[in-house]
Amino acid sequence: MKREYPCVEVNLGKITHNTREIVKLCSTKGIHVVGVTKVFCAKKPVVKAMLNGGLEIVGDSRIENLKRLEEFKCRKLLLRIPMESHAAEVVKYSDISLNSEIETIKRLSKAAKRASKIHNVILMIDMGDLREGVLERDVIDLVKEIISLENIKLAGIGTNLTCYGGVIPDGNNLGKLVMIKKEIKDKIGYEIPIVSGGNSSSLYAVMNGTIPDGINQLRIGEAIVLGRETSFGKDVPGCYKDSFTLKGEIIEIKEKPSVPIGTIGMDAFGQTPHFEDRGIIKRAIVALGRQDIVSEGLTPLDKQVNILGASSDHLLLDITNSCNLYKVGDIVDFNMDYGCLLRAMTSPYVKKYYVD
């Protein structure tokens, strides 16, 4: 099949392998893995590859993505706390949702009753990162209220760390989450089944054996797709880092100065650029831009190629020192970080291809 560019090539075999390795790693600590699908917009071939790796539940932050996964028989978790206005869809398309607002949970209760379903909720507790979650002092009163609601099951408590405040998961904050489970049991007599201890940033604690006993669920996305934990950026043993490859086509090659000629003001994004004078360089333009990718998150596979910058539709490369004799029409390959992968998989202008 003739390919169109730009595109992302997804190696499904590597996704399955990474999933299997992480599921196996977490199982040694009694931890179940939720496979997070949001970075690749829950594309069905990738979701299937993750399920082939041993997952029993997938999670996404967008209800639109979960809708597309209706055919999959696995359990589905809504990661972003729901909008009240989406209560009926949340109950219909997800089995579990993360929640922090009692009024929203009441809406879910009514929607679940109308649908003759039981909807599971995980109460999110803010352990210091200051994104979503209730404060520790309010947990007991909220739990009492939640367990009194019809058609709602309090399936667990959870937290999120590093995503906003950069707070590292550790024995203190995750240990406190486990203690809150015990406090709920002691004060109310309610046994919390799930203690959801965060995302790929908590994986390093599994890797070094310091994750507190009692954490029994992690919500893992980046570690599966890019093969690294996200607290310190360490590679996950045995995992591939190149499951996703961005490919772009060269549309111009010219020798030009390394510094623009004239008075420099703001660029198209309101920034004032700065340039290093390296004389005349060989420059290539690839048909990719900030509408498709985050240029700072790209790494050319050709180590002698440097990224100069990007406008909305053009990616500028310095190919002066490359041993490859590039010509117009050639394809340049890139690895991506998480933010860049998110943008590329979301862009309708970047084609997606799947290989085994």
| pLDDT of amino acid 272 | 80
308 torsion bin: left (phi>0), alpha (psi -120 to 50), beta (else): alpha
Catalytic annotation, pick one of 14, 38, 76, 181: 38
pLDDT above 80: residue 189? yes
CATH class (in words) of the domain with range 12-226: alpha beta
Nearest residue to 319 via CA among 272, 261, 330, 8: 330
pLDDT in tens, 200-222: 999 999 999 999 999 999 999 99
CATH superfamily of 244-355: Lyase, Ornithine Decarboxylase; Chain A, domain 1 (2.40.37.10)
- For the chain, give the mean pLDDT: 97
Indicate the domain borders of the chain: 12-226, 244-355
The predicted-structure confidence for 223-261, as pLDDT tens digits, reads as follows: 999 999 999 999 999 999 999 999 999 999 999 998 888
The closest of 53, 36, 352, 47 to 223, measured between CA atoms, is 36
Task: Name the 3-class secondary structure at 186.
Answer: helix
Query: 34, 53 in Cβ contact below 8 A?
Result: no
Q: Which residues, listed in sequence order, are joined to residue 122 by a DSSP beta bridge?
A: 98, 156
Is 38 a known active-site residue?
Answer: yes
